[in-house]
Structure 1
Amino acid sequence: MASAPVQRSDDLQIVDDKSPDDSFIEDAKQREIQALDDDPVFSRPEQRKIIHRIDRRLITTTGAMYCVSLMDRTNLPNAAIAGMNVELDLNVGFRYSTIALVFFITYTLFQPPATLLCRKIGPRPFLAGICLAWGLVMIGFGFPQDWVVMLPLRLLLGVFEAGFFPGCVYLISTYYSRYDMQKRYAVFYMIGSLASACSGILAYGIQQMHGLAGYWGWRWIFIIEGVVTCVIAFIGFIFLVGFPDQLAKKKSWPPFLNSEEIAFVIRRINKDRSDADAEEWNFKKWASSGKDPKVWAFALVFFCLTTMAYAISYFLPIILRENMGFSIAESQCLAAPPYAFAGIVMICIAWVGDKYHIRGPLLAGNAVLGLIGLPIMGFASQAGVRYFGVFLICASCNSSIPTAMAYQANNIRGHWKRAFCSATLVGFGGIGGVAGSLIFRSQDSPHYRPGIYAGMACNGLIITIVVVNSLYFRRENRKADKEGKVLEGNPSFRYTI
Structure 2
Amino acid sequence: MLSRNEKPVESPVGSADQVPRYADNEFNQAPELVQCPAHTTESKLLRKIDLHVIPYLCVMYLLAFLDRVNIANANVFGLSVELGIVDGNKYNNALVIFFVPYILFEIPSNVILKKMKPRVWLSICMFGFGMVTMLQGFVQNYSGLLATRFFLGVFETGMFPGAFYLIGMWYRRHEAQKRYSFFFSSTTLAGAFGGLLASAIGKMDGVAGYKGWRWVFLLEGILTVVVSFFFFFLLPNFPEEVKWLTEDERTYVKARLQIDQGKSARERPITTRDVGRVFKDPKILIGGLMYFGLIVPAYGYAYFSPTIIQSYGYSPIQTQLHSVPPWAAAFGFSMAVAYFSDKLKHRFAFTIFPICVCISGFAILLSVHNNRQVQYAALFLVSMGAYTAMPVIVCWFNMNLGGHHRRAVGSAWQVGFGNIGGIIAVYSFLKKDGPRYVPGYSISVAFVCLSALSCMAYFIMCSWQNKQKNKSVRDVGLTEYEKMELGDLSPDYRYLL
Q: TM-score, normalised by structure 1?
A: 0.89
Partners of 2:324 and 2:13 lie apart in 1 by 39
Give 1:345's aligned residue: 333
Q: 1:106 aligns with which of 73, 78, 101?
A: 101
The 5-angstrom pairing of residues 98-497 of structure 1 reads 98-247=93-242, 252=243, 256-281=244-269, 282-322=271-311, 324-380=312-368, 381-484=370-473, 488-497=488-497
Residue 313 of structure 1: how far off its partner (Å) = 0.4
Q: Would you say how many aligned residue pairs link Structure 1 and Structure 2?
A: 465
Q: Is the 8 A contact 1:411 1:496 kept in 2?
A: yes
* Residues 51 and 342 of structure 1, relative CA distance in 2, 3 Å threshold: same
Q: Does 1:38 align with 2:18?
A: yes
Percent identical among aligned pairs is 31
Q: Single out whichever of 62-71 and 429-438 deviates more from structure 2.
A: 429-438
After superposition, what is the alpha-carbon deviation per residue over 1:5-57, rounded to whole angstroms, capped at 9, x for unaligned? xxxxxxxxxxxxxxxxxxxx996489999877533322897111111111111
After superposition, what is the alpha-carbon deviation per residue over 1:138-178, rounded to whole angstroms, capped at 9, x for unaligned? 11111111122100111100000001111111111111111
Residue 276 of structure 1: how far off its partner (Å) = 3.1
After superposition, what is the alpha-carbon deviation per residue over 1:204-257, rounded to whole angstroms, capped at 9, x for unaligned? 11121111111111101100000000112112112112112234xxxx3xxx21
Give 1:21's aligned residue: none
Instruction: Please say which structure displays the higher CA radius of gyration.
Output: 1
Q: TM-score, normalised by structure 2?
A: 0.89
Give 2:25's aligned residue: none
SS in 2 for 1:278: coil
After superposition, what is the alpha-carbon deviation per residue over 1:348-390, rounded to whole angstroms, capped at 9, x for unaligned? 1111111112112211111111111101123213110011110
AA matched with 2:156: E
After superposition, what is the alpha-carbon deviation per residue over 1:378-421, rounded to whole angstroms, capped at 9, x for unaligned? 32131100111101100111011210111112222121111101
Structure with a larger share of its residues in helix: 1
Q: Which runs of 5+ in 2 are unaligned?
A: 20-33, 476-486
Give 2:480's aligned residue: none
Q: 1:77 aligns with which of 68, 72, 77?
A: 72
SS in 1 for 2:88: coil
SS in 1 for 2:84: coil
Q: Is the 8 A contact 1:245 1:277 kept in 2?
A: no
Q: How large is the Cα RMSD of the aligned pairs?
A: 2.1
Instruction: Tell me which stretches of 4 or more aligned residues in structure 1 moved more than 4 Å.
Output: 29-37
Partners of 1:312 and 1:398 lie apart in 2 by 10
Partners of 2:106 and 2:376 lie apart in 1 by 35
After superposition, what is the alpha-carbon deviation per residue over 1:409-468, rounded to whole angstroms, capped at 9, x for unaligned? 222212111110111111023212111212111111110001111111112112211222
* Residues 227 and 325 of structure 1, relative CA distance in 2, 3 Å threshold: same
AA matched with 1:355: K
Q: Is the 8 A contact 1:376 1:389 kept in 2?
A: yes
